[in-house]
Structure 1
Amino acid sequence: MEKPAIFRVPEAIFYGRGSYEKVGVEAAQRGSKALIISDRIMDQLGYVNECREYLEASDVQSVVYLGIASEPTDDYVAEALEIFQKEQCDLVISVGGGSCIDTAKAIAVLVTNGGYIGDYMGGKKLAMQAPVPHIAIPTTAGTGSEATDVTVITSSSTEVKMMIKQPAFMPNVAIVDPLLTLSSPKHVTSATGVDALSHAVEAYLSKKAHPMTDTIALSAMRLIVENILTAYKDGENIDAREAMSLGALQAGMAFSNASVCLVHGMSRPIGALFHVPHGISNAMLLPAVLEFSQDACVDRLADIGRIFNPNNESLSNKDAAEIAVQSIKELCLKLQIPNLRGWGIDEEAFQLAVAKMTTDAIDSGSPANNPRVPTQVELAELYHVCYDYQLATEEEKV
């Protein structure tokens, strides 16, 4: 390695069936009154009340913010922060998908460091004070946000997804209980699963990858590739759900330390402007971006191809790389991942937004980590390709 690398993870990770019950003991070690950040679906499923019961059993008081109704915005952050301060809380617990976890990350930092969350984008403002403790509890196998030092918050005024990465945004504790993912419907299972796969793939292809991230990214890919279709078709299969939860966790650790690439750079503006959930937009883009990048990362794509086709060791790297791209296309087809048109994005509105999306994607910095770094013109063309991208030819559809 040319220079030292770093690998950051939460100070404690609890993983496995029934690990949710650890939240009370862990919270009691870090505070006496928690703000639980979640959404109404998690509340209806009983997960929020279950969390409060675990906290109460450990003599930890709690209040709840259920305002998360979409990708996280600075408005949600402001609302939750006001409750935290008014109620004099001293720790934050997130229960839900990446939107809940990312909002909680912002709260944890702002309580002790102040300012507007957008101030921290691009390192303009550094979180010099330790954040309040944050316990992150994912209920989907997707974002891996419970194990990353990244938060993505949309500015309500500029419609820019602000990708913010600093060590202070890392949760103190991650509790990954696959039992909480059993409630995920098929479309959420597919989108978040491919989101996790994209995290692992981009971590492995990133120019910032290193041996630690390589090892865990490959492990994540194996877990996801071997289990995602089972979890999608049979949501009650706890073994598949457990493997997907572990894969998503590992993928989060990998990309947090190796960075993401072009898929994420292109995905964020789509989410900000057209309100497409992050996991779905990543899934829509992954096959086309891999085709674009293929010639610049044949050897690494070959490693991924051999995960899909482990029994053919005689494959050349070029053939194995092609298998990787084709296999991911076939996987997305089986999981019914739509293209941008199929999602319902208006074509005229999309074409008018391409220039802004291209600029915002480049400004995020993520495309620069890609094996093939696109020019502004190439990136705009790739957005056009992705709008109508077909996962299968007419012959393959028959």
Structure 2
Amino acid sequence: MMTFCGPKRLEVGFNSFSRIGELVKAIGGNKVLVVMDAFLNSPQIGLGKKVSDILSEAGIPMAIYSGIANEPNSDNITEGLDAAKESECDCIVAIGGGSSIDAAKAVAALAAKPDMIFSEIPKQARLGRLPLIAIPTTSGTGSEATRVSVINNSKTGIKENPGHPELVPDIVILDPQLVMTLPPSLTAFTGMDALTHAMEAFVSNKANSMTDLYAYKAMEMIGQALPKVFANGKNEEERQKMAIASYYAGLAFSNASTNLAHAGGRALGAYFHIPHGLSVALLLPFVMEFGLEVAEERYARVAVALGADPKLSQRELARQAIDIVNSYNDAFGIWDEAKNKFITDLEAYRKAIPEMVSNALAGNGILTNPRIPTEEDVTMVFEKLAAKIKS
């Protein structure tokens, strides 16, 4: 049996952002709460004013919650729910990276069911959430296409990521104009996140013909576009290609799941406050090495999608997939970013490994890994990252 969930409507193209008003009306919205990244609402960026002007022209009252400065936590959700109640909104518009979109999903669900606990979302037969429009301003998280919401529990420090088909947004707007000014580092982090989504969905033991279709195409597009937009963020054609590829990768992993790189990446990111895309990029090569012996054919196809010579043997191609990912991490400064900014104390990192391993094993993505890891296996992955950082 195969199940596949995705948004009901997709709008793609430059200036598609300006259609927010008519799209809110299309899903029955009368009062809107906009959930967006704090910096996007700043006077310097002015995206909050822009959406306010568009909705005002459409005759739609709105309020903004922009308390999300980094990755969202449960305190942000409480604040967002207070804003939803105060504004008496009947529709949520999420604008930003995965943080704002994930937070908006949680607010849309919990505003409709105030007594529901966030972690209990998967157990609900129906959520009956508020209508939701997602507008990503990065090309990487894929949250606009997924049925999960990743929120850091402020009390436990653990990232929770419950899933439900009704968390998938109703409408997605992919406007490449919104990502044209994304700096090279964030372009790389989010792009590697999208690549990891697609790759892990492709090798997942829950993969099917539908998820393969989106995952493989996403990898092809990212392999072509990411190096170009990293070098030149003003490349409009490649920016649009990355926006679509990220969406495809989101569809793929939402239905086939991510694996160990994300399970470990969530723990690594939470413990050392590392941006999500960077954390999964750091672990991906070592996770690939761990799964190579059971997923050689799949990783060989990954290499071809990323531009490797298909005439090579299956074993050579599978190894080349790892080499390509390592070359991206080199070219995009992934290793240096981690070493110089986040994992500066290797002794502290090694002391944290047991707790990170425990958190990784407790999260989603372990049982869908092509090779199911043990505690020792996950420890080995974290140790290999330490050795790489030290080198």
Q: Shorter-normalised TM-score: what interval? A: over 0.9
Distance in structure 2 (CA, Å) of the matches to 1:308 and 1:249: 18
Aligned-pair identity in percent equals 34
Counterpart check, 1:56 vs 2:53: no
Partner of 2:168: 170
Partner of 1:372: 371
Q: Is the 8 A contact 1:74 1:117 kept in 2?
A: no
1:175-186 aligned within 5 A: 175-186=173-184
Distance in structure 2 (CA, Å) of the matches to 1:342 and 1:374: 29
Partner of 2:83: 83
Offset at residue 283 of structure 1 (A): 1.2
Q: Is the deviation greater in 375-384 or in 95-104?
A: 375-384
1:235-250 aligned within 5 A: 235-250=233-248
Q: Is the 8 A contact 1:127 1:166 kept in 2?
A: no
Distance in structure 2 (CA, Å) of the matches to 1:97 and 1:24: 21
Counterpart check, 1:349 vs 2:368: no
Q: Is the 8 A contact 2:201 2:252 kept in 1?
A: yes
1:16-31 aligned within 5 A: 16-29=13-26, 30-31=28-29
Structure 2 unmatched ranges of 5 or more: none
TM-score (norm 1): 0.93
Show CA shifts across 1:247-303 (max 9, x none): 101000100011000000001111222211111111111112111211111101111
Three-state SS of the structure 2 residue aligned to 1:135 is: strand
Offset at residue 127 of structure 1 (A): 5.8
Three-state SS of the structure 2 residue aligned to 1:149 is: coil
Q: Is the 8 A contact 1:19 1:177 kept in 2?
A: yes
Three-state SS of the structure 2 residue aligned to 1:348 is: helix
Counterpart check, 1:334 vs 2:338: no
Offset at residue 390 of structure 1 (A): 6.1
Distance in structure 1 (CA, Å) of the matches to 2:376 and 2:127: 41
Partner of 2:281: 283
| Aligned AA (1:363) | A
| Aligned AA (1:118) | F
Offset at residue 47 of structure 1 (A): 1.8
Report the RMSD for the aligned CA atoms in angstroms: 1.6
Distance in structure 1 (CA, Å) of the matches to 2:311 and 2:83: 60
Offset at residue 114 of structure 1 (A): 2.1
Distance in structure 2 (CA, Å) of the matches to 1:57 and 1:255: 37
1:191-202 aligned within 5 A: 191-202=189-200
Q: Is the 8 A contact 2:142 2:247 kept in 1?
A: yes
Offset at residue 385 of structure 1 (A): 1.2
Q: Is the 8 A contact 1:118 1:155 kept in 2?
A: no
Q: Is the 8 A contact 2:211 2:256 kept in 1?
A: yes
Equivalences, count:
386
Partner of 2:314: 317
Counterpart check, 1:41 vs 2:53: no
Q: Is the 8 A contact 1:109 1:127 kept in 2?
A: no
Partner of 2:386: 387
Q: Is the 8 A contact 2:202 2:215 kept in 1?
A: yes
Offset at residue 351 of structure 1 (A): 2.0
Counterpart check, 1:108 vs 2:101: no
Offset at residue 109 of structure 1 (A): 0.3
Partner of 2:358: 359
TM-score (norm 2): 0.95
Three-state SS of the structure 2 residue aligned to 1:389 is: helix
Three-state SS of the structure 2 residue aligned to 1:226 is: helix
Structure 1 unmatched ranges of 5 or more: 394-398
Q: Is the deviation greater in 127-136 or in 178-187?
A: 127-136
Offset at residue 117 of structure 1 (A): 4.6
Distance in structure 1 (CA, Å) of the matches to 2:30 and 2:163: 28
| Aligned AA (1:165) | G
Distance in structure 2 (CA, Å) of the matches to 1:81 and 1:87: 10
Q: Is the 8 A contact 2:187 2:230 kept in 1?
A: yes
Sort the Cα spacing of 1:343 and 1:368 in 2 relative to 1 into closer, same or farther, 3 A. Answer: farther
Distance in structure 1 (CA, Å) of the matches to 2:19 and 2:162: 29
Three-state SS of the structure 1 residue aligned to 2:71 is: coil
